[in-house]
């Protein structure tokens, strides 16, 4: 029973009458009416929220339809068709390269995780073996003591049995006291052996620790390798400026693209399609990636001890190749191949 209903009943009793069945029915109807109004208000709010979302979706759909209409009209022009095909060929090259870099980063992170987990388990096993060895040394000493006490006790009992006659009374009494004291030591030694055995079993039954994820150093190593691999991809696509052209296709619309004449566009399309095949079939040059990672590690600066991605301005530039004057791009600063999706945090 709710508080207002209790107050109403109390007020009726103070007035000298009990609530009638009709009063109870009216009150129940009033309470149901209040609950229904609350539900109606909530449904009305939900309706307005859904209408707002519908308007936003209609606006987004309308913008997409306008873009599609503009694109269809644009592609219908003969002089713009080849330029558009070259544009989308470059975007396809960009997506393939991004996917390749992301796959490389994921595989590298998995391998690093496996290495760190194996190292953690090996360290855990080593520490456990050392602890078991310490307890086993104590156990050996306890068992030696126990055997020694049992041997002494056996000799003492034999000696006691050999002491006959009343003149050996005091010797027998002293020997009995020693036997009783030694028996207490034997019990204590047995208890210690049981305790040490249980301790060894508990240590051996300890589960390995949970793996809490890659260490900061591990994530930094993966990220430097990813940056080095991104640079390597740029080098592979440097001829003809494909790397920069592919990046520019993500920064501007197809309407703003310009790749020259029809023949130049066709040549670019052929070059980009061949580059897609090369990237998909490309094998990782691990020695070159390591060389680049070592170069990056020598200059990388991090904003904090917990940061795993180096400051882009600290990335040492790659020396230009022979016969070229253009400095290689800073793949982290220019965000080549959507590199931040491949980095581990």
Rounded mean pLDDT of 31-58? 83
Report if residue 35 sits inside a domain. yes
Residue 226 structural domain = 80-108+215-341
Is the model's pTM score more than 0.85?
A: no
Q: Do residues 86 and 52 both lie within one domain?
A: no
Query: Could you tell me the sign of the dihedral formed by the alpha carbons of 104, 106, 109, 115, in that order?
Result: negative
Of 169, 204, 239, which residue is a domain's last? 204
Same domain, 324 and 228: yes
Predicted confidence band of residue 49 (pLDDT cuts 50, 70, 90): confident
Q: Which residues contact 108 (CB under 8 A, 6 or more apart)?
A: 222, 225, 226
Question: What tens digit of pLDDT does each residue of 306-319 get?
Answer: 999 999 988 876 66
Same domain? For 317 and 232 the reply is yes
pLDDT band at 326 (very low <50, low <70, confident <90, very high): low
- Distance of alpha carbon 248 from the chain centroid: 32
Q: Is 227 left (phi over 0), alpha (psi -120 to 50) or beta?
A: alpha
User: What is the CATH number for 170?
Assistant: 1.10.287
| Residue 173 CB neighbours (<10 A) | 10
Q: Please check whether residues 199 and 219 belong to one and the same domain.
A: no
87 and 230 housed in the same domain? yes
Among 204, 233, 263, residue at a domain's last position:
204
């Amino acid at each position: 029973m709710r508080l207002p209903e209790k107050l109403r009943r109390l007020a009726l009793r103070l007035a000298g009458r009990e609530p009638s069945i009709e009063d109870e029915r009216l009150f129940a109807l009033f309470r149901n009416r209040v609950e229904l109004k609350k539900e109606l208000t909530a449904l009305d709010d939900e309706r307005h929220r859904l209408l707002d979302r519908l308007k936003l979706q209609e606006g987004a759909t309308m913008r997409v339809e306008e873009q599609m209409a503009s694109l269809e009209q644009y592609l219908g022009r003969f002089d713009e068709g080849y330029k558009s095909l070259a544009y989308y060929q470059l975007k396809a090259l960009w997506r393939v390269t991004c996917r390749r870099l992301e796959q490389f980063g994921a595989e590298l992170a998995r391998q690093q995780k496996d290495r760190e987990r194996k190292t953690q388990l090996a360290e855990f096993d080593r520490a456990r073996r050392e602890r078991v060895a310490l307890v086993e040394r104590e156990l050996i000493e306890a068992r030696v003591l126990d055997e020694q006490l049992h041997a002494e006790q056996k000799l003492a009992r034999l000696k006691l049995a050999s002491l006959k006659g009343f003149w050996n009374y005091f010797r027998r009494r002293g020997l009995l006291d020693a036997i009783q004291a030694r028996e207490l030591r034997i019990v204590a030694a047995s208890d210690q052996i049981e305790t040490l055995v249980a301790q060894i079993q508990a240590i051996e039954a300890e589960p390995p620790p949970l793996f809490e994820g890659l260490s900061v150093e591990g994530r930094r190593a993966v990220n430097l390798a990813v940056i080095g691999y991104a640079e390597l991809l740029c080098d592979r696509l440097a001829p003809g400026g494909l790397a920069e052209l592919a990046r520019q296709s993500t920064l501007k619309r197809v309407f703003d693209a310009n790749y020259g004449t029809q023949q130049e566009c066709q040549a670019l399309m052929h070059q980009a399609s061949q580059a897609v095949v090369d990237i998909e079939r490309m094998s990782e040059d691990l020695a070159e990636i390591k060389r680049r990672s070592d170069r990056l590690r020598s200059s990388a600066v991090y904003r904090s001890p917990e940061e795993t991605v180096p400051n882009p301005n600290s990335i040492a530039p790659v020396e230009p190749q022979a016969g070229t004057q253009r400095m290689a791009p800073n793949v982290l600063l220019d965000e080549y191949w959507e590199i931040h999706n491949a980095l581990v945090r």
